[in-house]
Structure 1
Amino acid sequence: MPRLQSGVWKHFTPAIKDGRETFMCNYCSKTYTKNATKMQMHLDKCKEYSVVSQQSPGPDGSSSASIPVPSLSFLPSATPGGQFLIDSVDQRIQAYADECLARAVYATSSPLTLTDNIYWKRFFSVLRPAYCPPPREALSSHLLDCEFDRVQSQVHESIGKADCVAIISSGWSNVKETGTIIYAVATPVPLFYKCTMTKEQTRTSTFIADELKGVINEVGSQKVFAVVTDDAPEMMAAWAQVEEAFPHISAIGCTASGVERLFDDIVAQPSMKSLCRRAEQVVRCVQEQKMLSDTFRCWKTTKIRDHTSKGTALELPSGTNWTSVVNMFSSLLEGQNSIREMAVSPTLDIEVTVRATLQDAEFWKGLSSSRNLLYLIGNYIDFLKREDAALSGVVDMFSQLRYVIGTSLSASVLHSGEQKAVMASLDRCQEFCVKPIHAAAYMLDPKHVGQQTLTGEQINSAYYAISNLSHHLNLDEGKVLGSFARFSAKQGLWKGAGIWSSCQHVSASTWWKGLCSSEPLSAVAFAILQIPPTTGACERLWQHLRSMKMKGFVSAERVQKLVAVQANLNLLEPSDFDYAPLESDEEKKASFQSESHQ
């Protein structure tokens, strides 16, 4: 009797019986507890398995196994009244099917335990009775390694074909917590490039700069036009070192991270912290006392029926997202009528300090104005984190942000000294986020032509950035600036109204490459307008990494490979190899001729 080539487990189906794990033979239905030796001995004696295990050579010399499957009403039987359908899968088909299944599992972020599930096993047996899907161990080991190598090859091929790319790096600001630095390459599609592990002690500007320069050289420095990083304190010094080594590269900070830090600075002001503490005290008082909680819920339900209130429950801050504080403020404001009525009720036992807070009109006024201010800033954070956020929108966004903060601070709970501190924080945020390349992107985006809000200094810096890239691309600077003048004045190619209306339907970089490629300025504009304004791609990858770690993966290397495959499979166009036929046309023709002569 031949010994098993792939282990005993694939020939048994796991199940739970009377609270115990059992394994049923796929051929004769005999059941065993988990014991590989006894199960192997059973297979050596199983008559039904002996029929299955008979090997016959396939057309390419590989072995082929025929597996009897009980006939079902919807499956054809081998003979009239027969009991079995004979199916076969040779090694080549099995390997190809495993590869396709693994790719589908990775691309859809399906659990790797999917193929161990009895219902999926039955589904596969209906589709192809002789096919045995790979277990979790195979999906997380050699199949993952092969797919990772294949996908990474496609990533490098895409980067090689791109005319201009940007390096995105994140993880430096919280290296103490994670130790993981993520690199993505925007082509402009943000492809997962690699992860590195580092220690907090190595987080110096020189170390960071050397790491960034290493990735730039790996990708190809001539096609890298920007480096986008998080807001680690050492970053600005690291940027200077990168730009010194590669004068044509602009090093910029993640705009979303900058605005998040501004948000945190506002919440950290003493008056705002005091307001947050009072709001949290009210929420805890209502939530933790059953009488108050039941009364609030009852009164709130009544007001919902009367259409004078919404159904939002009181919320305490949780997590670090900007919505945490805003949601607490909003929940209090939406339940304000019920809570204030509770404060004057003689039958309810409410702490003296909480009752005083609920009866304080200034508390509610400050809650409303502060909620509005924080909500507006938070919306900018979410807007910047969108996948379609553009570098050209950063300058305009800061103009709007400065106006919003300036007009809202006077109505907030912050006193004059704190308001000055917030404006100083806004200045630091803008210094971190807005560089000459942002001004250049703003001036080159057709959606902003005629809406210039730049200062003279920003305009001069934009000219410098455009001239610098012109030299790097071996373009005539005079011709490039002349083209820029015609673009700004809407002359020549840009004289008609149609070309301007078209920019509302495509990205700015596509507009330049697709409609204005004949202009000397086109290559420069195309490179600049593809640069992402944030490290959002890396942040999404990091969330995915953390999710996979929480699912119990032991090896960090396995987790990184799985995330890389999952992320990139959904960004890269499927290659012809994904759907390659198992036989070439010549092989099919030879097989057909052979069958015809029989």
Structure 2
Amino acid sequence: MPRLQSGVWKHFTPAIKDGRETFMCNYCSKTNSKNATKMQMHLDKCKEYSAFSQRSPGADGSSSASIPVPSSSFLPGATPGDGGHFLIDSVDQGSQAFADECLARAVYATGSPLTLTDNVYWRRFFSVLRPAYCPPTRHAVSLHLLDCEFERVSGRVRRAVAEADCVALVCGGWAEPRDVVDYVVSTPLPLFYKSARRTERASVGEALKEAIGEVGAQRVFAVVTEDAPEMAEAWAQVEEAFPHVSAVGCAAFGIRRLFDEIAGQPSLRALCRRAEQVVRCVRERRALADTFGHWQTTKMRSHDAAGNPVSAVLPAPAPSGSDWTSAVTMLNGLLEGQATLREMALSPTVDVDVSVRATLQDPAFWKGVAGGRNLLYLVGSRIDHVRREEQTLSAVVETLGQLRYHVGAELPGSSLHAGEQEAVLAALERCQEFCVRPIHAAAYMLDPKHVGQQTLSGEQVNGAYFVISNISHHLNLDQGKVLGSFARFSAKEGLWKGGGIWSSCRHVSPSTWWKGLCSSEPLSSVASAILQIPPTAAACEALRSRLTDAGSRCGGADGAGLSPERLEKLVAVQMNLKALEPSDHDFASPESQEEEVKISFESETQ
């Protein structure tokens, strides 16, 4: 549809005549075709519009507009054929601006296209809802309305940080070949803070210290990062400059790197190549795919041994750099169709490649597929486990402990050689060193779900005491009283003597448990702060995903053409609006309209 000249649209009402869309003048009721030039020419000649436009402005100097709108079938309360009555609707500057703000906020929060207000159907809806309201253009939604909303939401983020008793600074991008590093503050709500360009002059440590200073060193208790060659040195710089701040490695990143190292072992890579060859052979040849599907569903193999339904189609091979589930899904699909595939290899009527037939008849191949699937799933599933929103640092200690035990038990039955098994164990040690630091041990010891479980080494326990003492000093607490409170907690004495308080920890988060039930104890503020720190940089990954998605939606495809800076503002607003609960102010009408709205509502409900 051609776009009308600025301000013209509100003077016409869409209508359907003889099956085609027309526009009716709100002043003389004449209809026009949807031609912007002709509609403008009509207004220039319309005597009724000329008389209306010469009316003087309101006493307050506002440019309010009263627009007569012919009653038609799509307006509320109208009756068909009643064309002789008119509505009088008006929107003053204040109401127009407030409506624009609310509409833009809804567009940003829902990730709707910025060109939504240019769509003829949306404009028709707005004209039905409020005939005199003229929605903003896409340029207004992309420019000054976005700037205003960004400033408003940024103010709410600053207030949330100022009111938080513990803030963790989460950053992502150092481990990737990107020019931009993203920063998210966890309060514990993940709130977008800023994106900053990497510079050659500033080291990672200097950049992290600068970001901590901007957020407020008094409130920051941890920095969560991915890994990078210079990250160990950066962590040391941060902890030296701010003794109460702990540097934390993203557990999901560390476990994903462990997964990649295991999947990269030569024996497992060779096994996956053979598995891909089988999958491609069956999927890409129509006759084989049809035979596999038919035999899988008709030869009593529609369910596995556990009674679960199995697929009649083999999953696609795992693409390079894909999510960990792709490789596991491919291997699992082969195991589900194992009986059918082996029978196809034995059948003289099925044309299977010689090399694939040999693979399907090889018992060592199937043993390797089962062992590889189990090992990769064991590690990969832990990535998703630690990424859960409710997880704490204590969950990382528990997860890595389980990984050490189960991987050690699974390795002998895998297809990996002795040297490769040693390499996997070495990778597991590196993962443990990156993911579990003294503050993790402190979180594990302070988590009521793990109290009394002696799984930490003496060195880890001493590190936990050191972290607790540092945070106590930072909060101006008596360290002796804090450690005394910790002793009573560990021994389940005093406040923690009854059984009810321990059963309650299964129903609330650990930090809430400490703040809500144990607030009288000196240890409470230390424990609640430590147990609010996120174990991963998943918030930064979600931010980058949003940036990519918004870039595809707001590039040339929908005409918005946002610059990187404005795209960053859009994603910041969208992410923070989703995290922050709307306040009463978000839904309040302008002060000048409060009494009018109240009176109108009361009169309509009486």
Quote the Cα distance in structure 1 between the aligned partners of 2:484 and 2:224.
30
Residue 454 of structure 2 aligns to a residue whose secondary structure is coil
Identity %: 64
1:463-542, aligned counterparts within 5 Å? 463-542=465-544
Structure-1-length-normalised TM-score: 0.90
Amino acid at match of 1:559: L
For 1:567, give the aligned amino acid.
M
- Structure 2 gaps of 5+ residues are 556-560, 601-606
Determine the structure 2 residue equivalent to 1:400. 402
Shift of 1:390: 0.9
User: How many angstroms apart in 2 are the aligned matches of 1:510 and 1:459?
Assistant: 24
Partner of 1:333: 335
Q: Which amino acid aligns with 1:63?
A: S
Bigger mean CA deviation after superposition, 233-242 or 259-268: 233-242
User: Does the CA contact (< 8 Å) of 1:391 and 1:533 recur in 2?
Assistant: yes
What is the aligned length?
578
Q: 1:422 to 1:44 in 2, by over 3 A?
A: same
What does residue range 574-585 of structure 1 map to in structure 2 within 5 Å? Answer: 574-583=582-591
Give the superposition deviation at 1:588: 5.4
Give the structure 1 partner of residue 228 of structure 2. 232
Residue aligning to 1:286: 282
Query: Residues 9-158 of structure 1: matches in 2 within 5 Å?
Result: 24=23, 27=26, 28-33=30-35, 39-47=39-47, 49-50=49-50, 53=53, 55-58=55-58, 60-73=60-73, 75-76=76-77, 82-158=84-160
Decide whether the 8 Å contact of 1:185 with 1:192 is kept in 2: yes
Give the Cα–Cα distance (whole angstroms) in 1 for the partners of residues 364 and 408 of structure 2: 21
Aligned-CA RMSD value: 2.9
CA-CA distance at 1:478 after TM superposition: 0.8
Match of residue 596 from structure 1? none
The 2-side partners of 1:586 and 1:302 are apart by: 70
Classify the secondary structure of the residue corresponding to 1:192: strand
2:250–2:435 Cα contact (<8 Å) kept: yes
CA contact (8 A) 1:513 1:522 kept: yes
Q: Does the CA-based 8 Å contact 2:13-2:127 persist in structure 1?
A: no
Q: Deviations over 1:251-284 (max 9, x none)?
A: 1110000000000000000000000100011111
| Aligned residues of 2:259 and 2:376 also touching (Cα < 8 A) | yes
Q: Residue 167 of structure 1 contacts residue 224 of structure 1 at CA under 8 Å; is this kept in 2?
A: yes
Cα offset for 1:581?
A: 2.9
Report the CA distance shift for 1:52/1:310 in structure 2 as closer, same or farther (over 3 A).
Answer: farther
Tell me if the contact between 2:168 and 2:222 (Cα under 8 Å) persists in the aligned partners: yes
1:220 has 2:216 as partner = yes
What is the alpha-carbon distance in structure 1 between the residues aligned to residue 76 and residue 68 of structure 2?
A: 13
The change in CA–CA distance for 1:132 and 1:54 in structure 2 (over 3 A counts) is farther
Q: Tell me the residue number matched to 1:557.
A: 565
Q: Secondary structure at the match of 1:62?
A: coil
Distance in 2 of aligned mates of 1:341 and 1:77: 72
Per the TM alignment, residue 305 of structure 1 is displaced from its structure 2 partner at its CA by 7.5
2:272 to 260, 265, 276: 276
Q: TM-score, normalised by structure 2?
A: 0.89
Q: What secondary structure, in the 3-state scheme, does the structure 2 residue paired with 1:57 have?
A: coil
Structure 1 CA distance for aligned equivalents of residues 219 and 149 of structure 2: 27
* 1:171 Cα deviation from its structure 2 partner: 1.1
Deviations 1:84-128 (A, max 9, x none): 222111111111001011111111222222222232222222211
Aligned to 1:410: 412
Cα pair 1:54 1:66 within 8 Å, conserved: no
Taking the aligned partners of 1:334 and 1:491, their CA distance within structure 2 comes to 53
CA-CA distance at 1:405 after TM superposition: 0.3
Which secondary structure does the structure 1 equivalent of 2:591 belong to? coil
1:102–1:144: 8 Å Cα contact kept in structure 2?
yes
Matched residue type, 1:192: F
State the match for 1:595 in structure 2.
none
Q: CA deviation at 1:294?
A: 2.3
> What is the rounded CA distance, in whole Å, between the counterparts of 1:586 and 1:267 in structure 2?
63
Counterpart of 1:63 in 2: which secondary structure?
Answer: coil
Cα distance in structure 1, aligned partners of 2:290 and 2:226: 45
Show CA shifts across 1:200-242 (max 9, x none). Answer: xx3x9x6211111111111111111100011222211111111
Q: Quick check: 261-270 or 281-290, which moved more?
A: 281-290
Contact residue 228 and residue 254 of structure 1 kept, 8 A: yes
Structure 1 unmatched runs, 5+:
593-598
* CA gap 1:126/1:22 in 2 versus in 1, 3 angstroms: closer
- CA contact under 8 A between 1:443 and 1:452: conserved in structure 2? no
Residue among 321, 324, 329 paired with 1:322: 324
Cα pair 2:252 2:383 within 8 Å, conserved: yes
1:451 & 1:115 partners in 2: Cα distance?
59
